[in-house]
Amino acid sequence: MQYITQQFEKLVNIDSPSGFTDNVARYTMQQFIDMGYKSSLTTKGCVVVDLGGEGNPIVLSAHIDTLGAMVAEIKGNGGLRLTRIGGLQPQNIEAENCTVYTREGNCYTGCMQLCNASTHVNADYAKSSREFTNMEVLLDEVVSSRLDVEKLGIAVGDYVCFCPRTVITPSGYIKSRFIDDKMSVAILLGFAKYIADNNIVPSRRIYAYITVYEEVGHGCASFPFDAREILCVDMGCVGDGLTCDERKVSICAKDSTGPYNYEMTTRLINCAKQHNLAYAVDVYPYYGSDASAALSAGADIKSALIGTGVYASHGYERTHIQGITNTFELLKHFLLP
Ligand SMILES: [Zn+2]
């Protein structure tokens, strides 16, 4: 668990909205290579890893891309209007620090604010809806015009990445942006480390597939494997009407794209039951996964989805070390019986 949380902290501090994942993908690939695995990048930028074993292959997927934003307009006052990458909510990034990456390789910091954000000045502060059209990034530079900003090398199309603000509490809670889905990537690294450290030869072939476009819907749409099963490790939903919490592993029976494979999901539920893991089976109302993308693209596979319970998803998220442990244990018992 220590290794997993350490890797999570490293991963979450490498900015990687969908389409801007090269650094984090190369870092992740290197971690697998350092453990002795064969690992490579696909053309699209996903990380493929062979975790060993022979026959009846299965793919374990998790996505390394996150929500983020892009400069859509440099305004006359020197503020930046943003467009979202993935399902980023403007309310969730108000007053959050961010970094702008220019195409020349420079970085500038700033903060996302409501336009006219002083409550002593703006009578409509509380009433204003929070939209990308009435919010702006205030650069931490002396700029007051579009020209000033352009002189810094900042341009439309530059990526804007938000601070993860990771906190791990003594009680075991992990609060951070982008637990979805960097925690699952950290869990897969931990799983690979468990196999390597204990010299385990899996009884079936296992691939890890770290995808880079999940948040925009086509993470697993290319599926370069001979496998017939995919197990997505992604965040488990926590909220009204659902039974999961941050200390459980969530098993998704159905999301908004449809049901997961009945037989494979039943096997996961039975495995969790048999090993007395704290788990929940839930239906996610507004959710799609890498498996949905693979199936939509025509892959002839069985799919299932598990993950640690994550509250306040796509915002300032929260999970617990027990949820991570239960997810890891389910992976271990399901794949290395
Ligand atoms: Zn996710």
Residue 210 CA, ligand 1 centroid: distance in Å: 12
**pLDDT tens per residue, range 265-282:** 999 999 999 999 999 999
Residue 180 CA, ligand 1 centroid: distance in Å: 5
Q: How confident is the model at residue 223 (pLDDT cuts 50, 70, 90)?
A: confident
Torsion, Cα 84 6 218 254, to 10 degrees, reads: -100
Residue 4 CA, ligand 1 centroid: distance in Å: 17
CATH class of 68-162: mainly beta
pLDDT at 337: 87
**pLDDT of 188 over the 90 cut:** yes
Residue 244 CA, ligand 1 centroid: distance in Å: 16
How far is 298 from 250, CA to CA, in rounded Å? 26
Q: What is the mean pLDDT of residues 169-191?
A: 98
**pLDDT tens per residue, range 279-308:** 999 999 999 999 988 998 888 999 999 999
Buried b (16+ CB within 10 A) or exposed e, 225-251: bebebbbbbbbbbbeeebebbbbbbbb
**CATH entry, 2-66+178-335, from 3.40.720.10, 3.30.230.10, 3.40.630.10, 3.10.310.70:** 3.40.630.10
Closest C-alpha to 174, from 278, 325, 332, 65? 325
- Per the annotation, the verdict on 246 as an active-site residue is no
Protein residues with C-beta less than 5 angstroms from the ion ligand 1: 180-181, 234
Residue 143 CA, ligand 1 centroid: distance in Å: 36
Domains in the chain: boundaries = 2-66+178-335, 68-162
Of the listed 73, 96, 150, 214, which one is catalytic? 214
Angle between helices 2-12 and 179-197 (to 10 degrees): 140
